[in-house]
């Protein structure tokens, strides 16, 4: 059999080797705790579950939905945008449902890019910013997100030739994996850049509802001119604990939305009407639920940061997202530190390079595990990787750096067998 080459263009899945190790450790009876994936552990709000139950019992929801979406769904999005972001969305022409943010992030590339076009994608970034454009036959230009730039891309560093070929710009704030929130003026700069180079700007808004310390993330569509150049992809997954439900939308520029709908009519048959009605319940009856979730993640964030400080890693607390983006100790890279944490604490973190080459010196911790497990993981990290007297960073440094062949850990205790 022969398969399409496009599948081979997608970067290798860095987790493959780690998964093999986890399996081996679990087979050995080790209690491995995964902080690797951003999948909320707590249930969907009951009002949403009940709305689905009731809607699914109504036979009129059982036929093919339309890719335009139910009027009730589009109107609920409009009301949500007005109330939450003070942004006007025309429910007739400026929004349609999508089957989760991932579907839209990846497929929007098929609607915007021809072979030879360039997509501008944050690095590190959510993997479909890479796979979507590559599947469209386009070229990818990474926009490094550097700590010294507050994890904002430097659009001025893009060469004139790359900007000329670019037809799609992805951005994402609050950001996965860095946890960064948008810097003042960045959305305005993105609008100006998109206008100047006549490209489509897509803002991935998966995390606006998970925020802390009084911070309220804005919508890209609230930026003057944003609706002229692009659209925003929103998801109910993270704020409402609904990753399994696959409910989101794309909203903004009417032509982008219409072209996206046109593409989707050839790929899928829309979102189950009962799910759309459950989505309405999330945006109305469970409208404030993400604030409760934000408080849960804030507490977990602080707990984990204390544990990381105990091993000498000073992590700036993020103001949004359920993630901590951690620079690994010197003498380590992401792979060796991931390995160290797995070996010493039986805790899985995501190695930064799974999000792009600029993640080389970072790992990501996800706070989407039950409190007791997170406390257990934090305790293991602090006690297993730490050393009395605050010496652990040096000790970590002394044992780090070897990517091949494991050095003997300097600590006698092995973890995770408790």
- Alpha-carbon 210 to chain mean position: 12
**Greatest distance between any 2 Cα atoms in the chain:** 67
For the CB of residue 131, give the shortest distance to ligand PLP in the complex, in Å.
13
Write out the DSSP string of 110-173. Answer: HHH--TT-EEEEEES--THHHHHHHHTT-EEEEEE--GGGTT---GGGS-HHHHHHEEEEEE-S
Choice between 38 and 65, CB closer to ligand PLP: 38
- Closest distance of CB 204 from ligand PLP, Å: 5
Taking the least distance from each CB to ligand PLP, the nearer of 105 and 311 is 105
* Minimal distance, residue 294 CB to ligand PLP, in Å: 16
Q: Which is nearer to ligand PLP, 248 or 416 (CB)?
A: 248
Q: Which residues lie below 8 Å from residue 263, measured CB to CB, with a gap of 6+? A: 107, 110, 111
CB of 128 to ligand PLP, least distance (A): 7
Starting at the earlier edge strand, list the strands of the sheet with 362-366: 323-327, 362-366, 350-351
Binding-site ranges for ligand PLP (CB under 6 A) = 38, 100-102, 105, 126, 172, 176, 204, 206, 235, 237, 243, 248
Q: Which is nearer to ligand PLP, 236 or 381 (CB)?
A: 236
CA distance 335 to 183: 30
Kindly tell me which of 235 and 253 has the beta carbon lying closer to ligand PLP: 235
User: Taking the complex as a whole, how short is the minimal distance between the CB of residue 77 and ligand PLP, in angstroms?
Assistant: 14
Tokens 């030739």: give the residue: 161
Structure token pair of residue 81: 């945008």
**Closest separation in Å from C-beta 318 to ligand PLP:** 14
- Short-list 55, 48, 94, 56, CA closest to 75: 94
Select 355 or 415, whichever has its Cβ closest to ligand PLP. Answer: 355
User: For residue 298, how many C-alpha atoms fall within 13 Å in the half-sphere facing its CB?
Assistant: 14
């Amino acid at each position: 059999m022969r398969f399409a080459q496009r599948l081979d263009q997608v970067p290798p899945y860095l987790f493959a080797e780690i998964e093999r190790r986890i399996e081996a450790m679990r087979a050995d009876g080790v209690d491995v705790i995964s902080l690797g994936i951003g999948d909320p552990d707590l249930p969907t709000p009951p009002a949403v579950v009940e709305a689905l139950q009731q809607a699914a019992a109504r036979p009129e929801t059982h036929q093919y939905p339309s890719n335009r979406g139910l009027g009730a769904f589009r109107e609920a999005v409009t009301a949500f945008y007005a109330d939450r972001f003070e942004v006007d969305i025309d429910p007739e022409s400026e929004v349609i449902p999508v089957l989760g943010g991932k579907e839209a992030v990846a497929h929007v590339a098929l609607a915007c890019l021809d072979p030879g076009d360039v997509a501008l994608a944050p690095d590190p970034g959510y993997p479909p910013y890479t796979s979507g454009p590559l599947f469209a036959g386009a070229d990818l230009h990474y926009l490094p997100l550097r700590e010294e730039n507050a994890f904002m891309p430097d659009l001025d560093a893009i060469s004139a030739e790359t900007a000329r070929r670019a037809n799609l710009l992805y951005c994402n704030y609050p950001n996965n994996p860095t946890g960064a929130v948008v810097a003042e003026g960045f959305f305005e700069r993105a609008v100006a850049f998109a206008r100047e180079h006549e490209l489509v700007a897509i803002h991935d808004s998966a995390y606006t509802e998970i925020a802390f310390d009084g911070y309220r993330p804005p919508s890209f569509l609230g930026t003057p001119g944003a609706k002229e150049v692009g659209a925003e992809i929103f998801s109910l997954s993270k704020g409402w604990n609904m990753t399994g439900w696959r409910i989101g939308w794309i909203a903004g520029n009417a032509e982008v939305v219409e072209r996206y709908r046109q593409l989707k009519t050839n790929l899928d048959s829309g979102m189950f009407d009962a799910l759309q009605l459950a989505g309405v319940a999330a945006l109305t009856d469970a409208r404030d639920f993400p604030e409760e979730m934000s408080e849960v993640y804030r507490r977990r964030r602080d707990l984990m940061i204390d544990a990381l400080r105990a091993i000498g890693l000073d992590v700036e607390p993020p103001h949004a997202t359920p993630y901590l983006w951690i620079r690994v100790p010197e003498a380590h890279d992401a792979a060796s530190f991931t390995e160290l944490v797995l070996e010493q604490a039986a805790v899985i973190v995501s190695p930064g390079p799974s999000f792009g080459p600029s993640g080389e010196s970072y790992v990501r911790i996800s706070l989407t595990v039950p409190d007791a497990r997170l406390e257990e993981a934090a305790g293991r990290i602090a006690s297993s990787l730490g050393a009395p007297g605050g010496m652990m960073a040096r000790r970590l440094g002394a044992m780090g750096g070897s990517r091949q062949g494991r050095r003997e850990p300097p600590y006698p205790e092995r973890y995770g067998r408790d």
